[in-house]
Amino acid sequence: MAYSLDDKLVVGVSTRALFDLSEAHEVFRSEGVEAYTRYQIENQRVPLTPGTGYPLVKGLLGINERLGETLVEVVIVSRNSADTGLRTRHSIEALGLPITRAAFTRGRPVADYLEAFSCDLFLSAEDADVVRALQAGFAAGKILPVPATSSHEGEVRVAFDGDAVLFGSASEELYQREGLEAFQANEAARASEPMEAGPFLPFLRALCRIQERFPPEDCPVRTALITARDSVSHERVVNTLHALGVRIDECFFLGGVRKAPIVKAFRPHIFFDDQLVHAGPASEVAPAAQVPRTPPRPAPEVGPR
């Protein structure tokens, strides 16, 4: 029987999200694809240093080792060609990462292959791929530059923004359109009405399934919600998490206070936020990714009958 990824937490990660390829990418940008190919082949035995997505990938794969069972799989999903991807392969081997699956599309969009690998999360440095993945219903983040700090040791920590990340963007859009007062009135009036699920709910669900395998006092995964909402909307958030059937370990209602200091204190392996004003400063103190807000993909046109 074929090996099934359906019951695993699967992370699809691009080569630039897993490793710091800024130098090679600069060659690609300034000199083109042929120079890039030459550069990567010439340097294929020069190991790459970890990128923004590396701490999360390494931490999640460590759970398999601890349990003696495979709960997490990581797949390289890359626009590289198989030959320029060799440097990644060698770096994975040098670091001893148990990653055995990869897709190399040689410049073509990779998002169309996420479903075939049952991906619960996709990390990439490429805007177009992230947007396409989100439109197809995947939790996807565009990684920001590699931070200088290290993540928490001992447990894998993942921090999420609320609106437009774990939850839908309806309340956020109302805030943008009509301001804080209208937003607060709306949240108070609808306190018992759960919000819609956002793009990262499937990934949080997959993390919760792993958490269920461990006693709470000895769980290798810890999650946090870090929201700019104030505690007035506490009730709606709690009702929404219940309705969506997920749990979050730590919740921070910041009422507009800067998120970066909280992110720094939590020391996550990654932090996801839709707004660069939060994700940007956070990326200086922890690995971070932006979840761009995207209009739904237009329905395919119906051809002539």
Q: Which stretch binds Mg ion (CB under 5 A): 4-12, 81-89, 195-203, 266-274?
A: 266-274
CB 60, min distance to Mg ion, A:
24
- Residue 74 gets which letter from DSSP? E
Q: Which stretch binds Mg ion (CB under 5 A): 141-149, 158-166, 254-262, 286-294?
A: 158-166
Residues in the chain: 305
Binding footprint of Mg ion, residue count (CB under 5 A): 4
End-to-end CA distance of the chain: 40
Q: Given 120, 161, 273, 274, which residue is catalytic?
A: 161
State the amino acid at position 267 in one-letter form: R
Residue 58 vs 278, nearer CB to Mg ion:
278
274 binds Mg ion per the rule CB under 5 A? yes
161 binds Mg ion per the rule CB under 5 A? yes
Query: What residues does 227 pair with on adjacent strands?
Result: 253
- Do 197 and 162 contact (CB within 8 A), yes or no? no
Binding residue for Mg ion (CB under 5 A) from 73, 129, 163, 187? 163
CB 273, min distance to Mg ion, A:
6
**Tokens read off for 135:** 């439109």
Helix axis angle for 33-42 and 86-95, nearest 10°, is 40
Q: Which stretch binds Mg ion (CB under 5 A): 9-17, 45-53, 122-130, 154-162?
A: 154-162
Query: What residues does 13 pair with on adjacent strands?
Result: 76, 123
CB 162, min distance to Mg ion, A:
6
Residue 139 vs 164, nearer CB to Mg ion:
164
CB 276, min distance to Mg ion, A:
11
DSSP 122-179: EEES-HHHHHHHHHTT--EEEEPPPPSSPPPSSSEEEEE-TBTTTB-SHHHHHHHHH-
Residue 73 vs 172, nearer CB to Mg ion:
172
Q: Which run of H or of E encompasses 9?
A: strand 9-13
Rounded to whole angstroms, how far apart are CA atoms 208 and 16? 27
Give the nearest residue (CB) to Mg ion.
163
Active site residue 161: yes
- Do 142 and 206 contact (CB within 8 A), yes or no? no
Residue 164 vs 195, nearer CB to Mg ion:
164
Q: Which stretch binds Mg ion (CB under 5 A): 67-75, 144-152, 273-281, 289-297?
A: 273-281
Q: What are phi and psi of 188, to 5 degrees?
A: -70, -45
**Tokens read off for 214:** 């461990």
Rounded to whole angstroms, how far apart are CA atoms 121 and 187? 29
Binding residue for Mg ion (CB under 5 A) from 48, 56, 133, 164? 164
Residue 99 vs 130, nearer CB to Mg ion:
130
CB 141, min distance to Mg ion, A:
13
Q: Which stretch binds Mg ion (CB under 5 A): 133-141, 206-214, 250-258, 269-277?
A: 269-277
Q: Which run of H or of E encompasses 273?
A: strand 270-273
CB 261, min distance to Mg ion, A:
18
187 binds Mg ion per the rule CB under 5 A? no
Residue 155 vs 173, nearer CB to Mg ion:
173
Positions touching Mg ion (CB under 5 A) are 161, 163-164, 274
Residues belonging to the active site = 161
